[in-house]
Structure 1
């Protein structure tokens, strides 16, 4: 029986640069960095407050087809791949802290029925959402244009 989610893959362009971004900028902790064979490296990070969930930083490579690798690399260059959602305790403060570290924001912190949300990119162009959650009901979405 499935008990939990323990690993989520994030497609990145460069493992070393992404490892530095996720640890130095976002505050994750390096976990695994293992070379497996000539052309595959297993790199994971965890967040100190959620060590049971690892982010697997990986580049588009074999065993994916050459066509899929090329398509994913194009999507990365265009900034069109989704990343992960990150819960924050103060979205506006977090935006300012990350902006000071050079993070690109696509959407400023905005009030939503479910909390305060901002949209950023990691250093590989992945969209990442920051959410300062609050309790909500389905009625909170009526007339919001969301949902």
Structure 2
């Protein structure tokens, strides 16, 4: 039996804003964008990883009551969720390109552990680590 993780979701403040960020600034592409009433299933994927999708979901119906949705928005915006990790060939070059596109960095590239890493946030506050792949 084959198993694997296909979709990992993150909560976002606004799906259109998140979609523009992940596609235009990080280079993801849209995989699925469907609606069921007020609910929108929106996933993106990195072109070099066709079997993995990142879900861009808003807290709220049908999953949570409005108070829980508001709490989730606040927690995400504070950047307290564990960071996601993006692997790149050249961290400094990716930093320069993304910084020029307006990505909010929380940490400039730093040499450590035998590689280079940087930190950034999406418009909803989700934290990311960008790590240079070891050669």
Instruction: Flag whether TM exceeds 0.5 (same fold).
Output: yes
1:30-67: CA deviation from partner (whole Å, max 9, x where unpaired): 11110112x20010111110011011100111222444
Q: Which residue of 1 aligns with 2:122?
A: 122
**Helix, strand or coil at the partner of 2:50:** strand
Q: Which residue of 1 aligns with 2:57?
A: 58
Matches within 5 A, 1:1-147: 1=1, 3-37=3-37, 39-62=38-61, 63-134=63-134
Q: Please, which runs of 5 or more residues in structure 1 have no aligned partner?
A: 136-147
Aligned length: 134
Normalising by structure 2, we get a TM-score of 0.90
**Helix, strand or coil at the partner of 1:50:** coil
1:53-84: CA deviation from partner (whole Å, max 9, x where unpaired): 01110011122244432211112333333452
Normalising by structure 1, we get a TM-score of 0.83
Distance 1:83 1:65 in 2: 25
Structure with the bigger RCO (C-alpha within 8 Å, sep 6+) is: 2
The structure whose Rg is larger is 1
- RMSD, matched Cα: 1.6
